[in-house]
Amino acid sequence: AQSVSQHNHHVILSEAASLELGCNYSYGGTVNLFWYVQYPGQHLQLLLKYFSGDPLVKGIKGFEAEFIKSKFSFNLRKPSVQWSDTAEYFCAVNAGDSWGKLQFGAGTQVVVTP
């Protein structure tokens, strides 16, 4: 079955630490990949997306992600986190012919301590 896996459910780290969140998917064909973030009390927001081209994509707020096709992975990174990065992060895959249907990972709750 098609699926999206996020490696960590909870991550706790200190400000200025580096963050890497893993995401793997199990679709065989062409995929569009996304990372969304949900800050406490706020709605889901797009962090970054990959459709094609350069596998290293940059998003908002200093986040970047690398698409590794051979590993079916799309890991999210940030070199130095801030307290305001505390949020839940979701990896999502669009693998069909419709923009509206995304398969989401379970999410990773990230807590950044001052």
The 10 Å Cβ neighbour count of residue 89 is 23
Shortest distance, position 111 Cβ to another protein, whole Å: 16
Shortest distance, position 15 Cβ to another protein, whole Å: 27
Q: Which one, 5 or 17, has the nearer CB to another protein?
A: 5
Rounded to whole angstroms, the Cα distance separating 107 from 38 reads 10
Q: Rule CB under 8 A: which residues touch another protein? A: 32, 34, 36, 42-46, 49, 51-52, 90, 92, 94, 96-107
Q: Which one, 75 or 90, has the nearer CB to another protein?
A: 90
Shortest distance, position 29 Cβ to another protein, whole Å: 12
Q: Which one, 19 or 37, has the nearer CB to another protein?
A: 37
Strand partners, 23: 6
Q: Which one, 52 or 70, has the nearer CB to another protein?
A: 52
Q: Which has the closest alpha carbon to 105: 50, 56, 35?
A: 35
Do 34 and 49 touch, CB atoms closer than 8 A? yes
Strand partners, 88: 38, 109
